[in-house]
Structure 1
Amino acid sequence: MQETRNGLTHFTPPVSRDRIISKFPKCYLPQACLQMKNEWDDLAKSACRDRTDRHHGLKMSKAVVVGDHNVGKTCLIKRFCTDLFDRDYKATIGVDFEIERFELLGVPFSLQIWDTAGQEKFKCIASAYYRGSQVIITVFDMADIKTLENTRQWLEDAMRENEPGSFSVFLVGTKSDLLASEEHKRTERDAIKLATEMNAEFWSVSAKTGENVQEFFFRMAALAFEDTVLKDMEMGTTSTRIGGGESIKSDRANLDEPQSKPERTNCC
């Protein structure tokens, strides 16, 4: 899709039909969510409805995915972005990212999903990419309770690089297909308790079967989008500018300053 702005023609990437979100996505479990939201915020709906230029660029948010090595971060992201599962993904070296484009309440929205390495030797590289995150997703393996305990430290590391109150937090348990029913319930209870302490919303997913993967990412994208719209309004952004962020020139363009390739250091 093309649009003319300031005498120049800009290209707005199309949004696939399976990335159009009109109804507000439900939470995983009532006791696992931070807020019982089933509807869009009235102010956000009004701001989007009153826009006079619906295709004025793309609004972008950044989500960073953190957690121990081999908990399934890459499998989770790839399952959502490509609807494929490969148990033999190579370990992420440093960072990688995907960009997913949505349309929410008629407004184009782009989400950067940053996949960070869980190995200790890459921490000094990956931590530089935490900065500027609107969403922090802490991931653990539901079949390995130790990885749940480690999410506290991962969250602290990511929070250290961001301003307080500038991001939302999700706690995601992967590989739910590996657990028997009773074990799943026990792990889920422990995870919900920790999520409450972390002020996070909990989700149980399986990248192998696809269970709850799309539902989680839709919920996360909707909350990030709504939060961005409301913050724009607080800052005095007019309704015609909602969704009017920088246009994306390519999947590797318009990245935050700390997301440039870091110089090699002696720590890794």
Structure 2
Amino acid sequence: KYKAIVIGDSNAGKSTLIQRITTGKFVEDIPETVGTEFFSKRFDNRVINLWDTLGQEKFVSKTLVAQFYRKTDIAIIVVNLNDQSSYQNVTFWKNELEKYSQKQAFVLVGTKHDLTQEVTNEAMSEMANALGIQFFKVSSKTGHGIDDLVKHLETMKIESTQEESVVKKNTQQQQKGCC
């Protein structure tokens, strides 16, 4: 199992995106996320637990944020394509996660493609190139781009932080020895 956190500003479409990925359906009125929840997506060769976030981590205790971000394998940074400030915070979200976890793979996802866009495709592509990550433009409502994103999640190379920590723990136990 791999841990994927879905991060981005409030109202970026994180919860709706997760529902579309895990159930294949669009849910119109999802209540605002007040804690953390995860939903699983099963593939032939892996299971990814998609963790939904508040979108307001900057207002939450650093201890809670650190616990939540630790051992993340995939970080999906979500940008509402209809909100310029959501786009301007991409670097904040990437840097915030990198404070607590260094091994994760990043994916940049522009949501609400079905609505009028304030953020251009060129701007999103430039951001993705500057950060060295893959970019997907999706609509959870219409399903546009969802299959490509899901296929990418299924096939992307993931350097698991969880496997690494198990290997480290076993190595440390072997080195301690006896007496």
How far apart are 1:200 and its partner, in Å?
Answer: 1.1
User: Which residue, 11, 33, 39 being the options, matches 1:70?
Assistant: 11
Aligned to 2:143, the other structure's residue is in SS state coil
> What value does the CA root-mean-square deviation take over the aligned residues?
2.2
User: Which residue, 83, 89, 94 being the options, matches 1:150?
Assistant: 89
How far apart are 1:128 and its partner, in Å?
Answer: 2.5
Pair 1:154–1:73, CA change in 2 (3 A): same
The reply to whether residue 121 of structure 1 matches residue 59 of structure 2 is yes
Q: Distance in 2 between matches of 1:93 and 1:213?
A: 25
Q: Residue 152 of structure 1 aligns to which amino acid in structure 2?
A: T
Q: Distance in 2 between matches of 1:189 and 1:123?
A: 35
| Mean CA deviation greater in 138-147 or 209-218 | 209-218
Deviating above 4 A after TM superposition, structure 1's stretches of 4 or more consecutive aligned residues are none
Pair 1:188–1:167, CA change in 2 (3 A): same
How far apart are 1:126 and its partner, in Å?
Answer: 4.2
Q: Distance in 1 between matches of 2:29 and 2:4?
A: 24
The reply to whether residue 102 of structure 1 matches residue 40 of structure 2 is no
The reply to whether residue 86 of structure 1 matches residue 19 of structure 2 is no
Q: How many residues align?
A: 161
Q: Distance in 1 between matches of 2:109 and 2:61?
A: 20
Q: Is residue 21–residue 41 contact of structure 2 (8 Å, CA) maintained in 1?
A: no
How far apart are 1:170 and its partner, in Å?
Answer: 0.8
Indicate the percent of aligned positions where both proteins have the same amino acid.
29
Q: Is residue 135–residue 224 contact of structure 1 (8 Å, CA) maintained in 2?
A: no
Decide which structure has the larger Cα Rg and report it.
1
How far apart are 1:100 and its partner, in Å?
Answer: 1.5
Relative to the length of structure 2, the TM-score reads 0.81
Q: Residue 17 of structure 2 aligns to which amino acid in structure 1?
A: L
Q: Residue 176 of structure 1 aligns to which amino acid in structure 2?
A: H
Pair 1:82–1:122, CA change in 2 (3 A): farther
The reply to whether residue 138 of structure 1 matches residue 77 of structure 2 is yes
How far apart are 1:197 and its partner, in Å?
Answer: 1.4
Q: Distance in 2 between matches of 1:126 and 1:81?
A: 24
Write the mapping of 1:237-256 to structure 2, written as runs, cut at 5 A: none
Structure 2: stretches of 5+ with no match in the other structure: 168-179
Q: Is residue 142–residue 148 contact of structure 1 (8 Å, CA) maintained in 2?
A: yes
Q: Is residue 94–residue 126 contact of structure 1 (8 Å, CA) maintained in 2?
A: no
Aligned to 1:88, the other structure's residue is in SS state coil
Q: Is residue 71–residue 147 contact of structure 1 (8 Å, CA) maintained in 2?
A: yes
1:171 matched to which residue of 2?
108
Q: Residue 87 of structure 2 aligns to which amino acid in structure 1?
A: L
